[in-house]
Structure 1
Amino acid sequence: MTDPVEDYRLAMSRLISGVCVISARAGSLDLAMTATSVVSVSLEPPTVLFCVHSDARLAEAVQPGGTWGVSILSAAAGAVADWLASPGRPAVGQLDRVGHHRGEHSGTALLDEATAWLQCRTEWTKEAGSHEVVVGQVLSTALAPAGSGGIVHHLGRMRAAP
């Protein structure tokens, strides 16, 4: 007999998706997570969404009106993606060993090893199973001067893409 949850997980692992880091601030604490569920929703106004586990620390920081950043990772950021996807990593100092700069519009940490950055404000969230869907208006965008390639998630692994 097959397990429907495992069958679903295996089917979805075949969907290739880009890898980003979502970052937000909770007081003076920087929070970040690796995400493979960042989606462009609308061009007018520019709107994106991502999904975060309801129990994640980041979920509280991105409630309506909160600001957050998206760092679309470069191919060189594999170690950063792995670190920020690690369950149980400490909340305090999780970006101490990760190069970043502050977003002018959001105040959030934007990772240096990225090809592009978005700064966003949460419009609304909605519970969907074990996750929260977070929809935000894009406040600003920026491109890295020499950005090329990225990281993709496929068959349960993150790897560099051309």
Structure 2
Amino acid sequence: MSSTEPSGSVAPAEFRAALGRFASGITIMSTLQDGVAHAMTANAFTSLSLDPPLVLVCVDKGVRMHAAVLDCGYWAISVLAGDQRSIADRFARSGRDLYSQFDGIGTAAGPKTGCSLIAGALSWLECRTWATYDGGDHTIVVGEVLSLGLGEPTDPSALIYYSSHYRDLPNA
């Protein structure tokens, strides 16, 4: 390697700080494994293709959601509204009890997959895993959208994550 080529080493703290300047929406990803609902907060989510309709989400290989979503092959995304910060916090915490994690949160079973959809979300999608790709310490999970809908939020603003904090993005 010549001295003019970049070395590729970036300090993790600097990497997080730089990417923290990119605002992202907040979603809850859910799936089922052996009849038990699993969920996690995800901000590494985006649309990918219109034809066919594809989205992607990145799942940490070190969390129990990883095995659950790969085992099931079906999953759902709920796009959180501005007043759903406590839901984002709950599903971002590791080590929560699997069987009571949805207690007190309004949900509905997705019409195609049965995966949990969060009541009051701005929108929701149900997906079938289309492909997976290695992404370092994460797996990039590409999903074909099977069904979707617009929610009936009590707060029409979007919950976003920017500079290591949740914020509301008002509905203009």
Question: In which range does the TM-score fall when normalised by the shorter chain?
Answer: over 0.9
Sequence identity, in percent? 34
Which residue of 2 is the match for residue 67 of structure 1? 74
Higher strand proportion, which one? Answer: 1
TM-score (norm 1): 0.93
Which residue of 1 is the match for residue 162 of structure 2? 154
Q: Are 1:140 and 2:147 counterparts?
A: yes
Tell me which amino acid in the other structure corresponds to 2:138: H
Give the unaligned 5+ runs of structure 2. Answer: 1-9
After superposition, the C-alpha distances for 1:32-67 in whole angstroms (9 at most, x for unaligned) are 001101110000110000001102111112227711
Tell me which amino acid in the other structure corresponds to 1:116: S
Aligned residues: 160
- Taking only aligned residues, the RMSD between alpha carbons, in angstroms, comes to 1.5
Tell me which amino acid in the other structure corresponds to 2:62: D
* SS in structure 2 at match of 1:106: coil
After superposition, the C-alpha distances for 1:96-147 in whole angstroms (9 at most, x for unaligned) are 2211000010110000020100000001112211111100100011002457
Give the unaligned 5+ runs of structure 1. Answer: none
Q: Which has the larger radius of gyration?
A: 2
Contact 1:126–1:134 under 8 Å retained in 2: yes
Distance, in Å, in 1 between the alignment partners of 2:150 and 2:28 is 15
* SS in structure 1 at match of 2:128: strand
